């Protein structure tokens, strides 16, 4: 049973370019969460999605960031016009249900470097 998959593992972008980060949840999981980890910090919640719906985006920056989880295919976190401050590790997690007792299973993360 494959775990949460994220790709790419490392992504380098120049300032002003777009970054697309992909997340495939565990088999049978329909809930996806994105987190950002800045250097020397804990993970910060960004957005929670179910298939074709954004449930909670309270942690998403208001501009340049968007997320989707289509009916088919992986969840995508998209960052437009990247800036150096976007350099971080981005983690995706999934869970099988919104029942609060279920823990979230994390992917290996994508490390974004903006040059």
Partner 1 sequence: AQTVTQSQPEMSVQEAETVTLSCTYDTSESDYYLFWYKQPPSRQMILVIRQEAYKQQNATENRFSVNFQKAAKSFSLKISDSQLGDAAMYFCAYRPSGGGADGLTFGKGTHLIIQP
- Contact of 31 with 50, CB cutoff 8 Å: yes
Candidate residues 10, 15, 27, 44; the one interacting with partner 1 per rule CB under 8 A: 44
Q: Quick check: 39 binds partner 1 (CB under 8 A)?
A: no
Q: How far apart are CA 8 and CA 2, in angstroms?
A: 17
- Residue 41's beta-bridge partner residues? none
Whose tokens are 């919104």? That residue is 98
Closer by beta carbon to partner 1, 43 or else 82: 43
Does residue 42 contact residue 92 with C-beta atoms inside 8 Å? no
Q: Does 31 bind partner 1 (CB under 8 A)?
A: yes
Strand ranges inside the chain, DSSP E: 5-7, 10-13, 19-24, 31-37, 43-50, 53-56, 65-68, 75-79, 88-95, 105-106, 110-114
Question: Could you say which of 13, 21, 24, 33 contacts partner 1 (CB under 8 A)?
Answer: 33
Site string for partner 1, 65-104 (x = CB under 8 A): ------------------------x-x-x----x-xx-xx
**Sole binder of partner 1 in the list 12, 41, 83, 115 (CB under 8 A):** 41
25 binds partner 1 (CB under 8 A): no
Q: Which positions touch partner 1 (CB under 8 A)?
A: 31, 33, 35, 40-46, 48, 55-56, 58-59, 89, 91, 93, 98, 100-101, 103-106, 108-109, 111
């Amino acid at each position: 049973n494959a775990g949460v998959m994220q790709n790419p593992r490392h992504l380098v972008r120049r300032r002003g370019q777009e970054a697309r980060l992909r997340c495939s949840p565990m088999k049978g999981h329909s809930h996806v969460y994105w987190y950002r980890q800045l250097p020397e910090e804990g993970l910060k919640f960004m957005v929670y999605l179910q298939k074709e719906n954004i449930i909670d985006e309270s942690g998403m920056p208001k501009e340049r960031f968007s997320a989707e989880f289509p009916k088919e295919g992986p969840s995508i976190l998209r960052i437009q016009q990247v800036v150096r401050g976007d350099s971080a590790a981005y983690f995706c997690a999934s869970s099988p249900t919104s029942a609060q007792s279920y823990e979230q299973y994390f992917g290996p993360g994508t490390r974004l470097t903006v040059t």
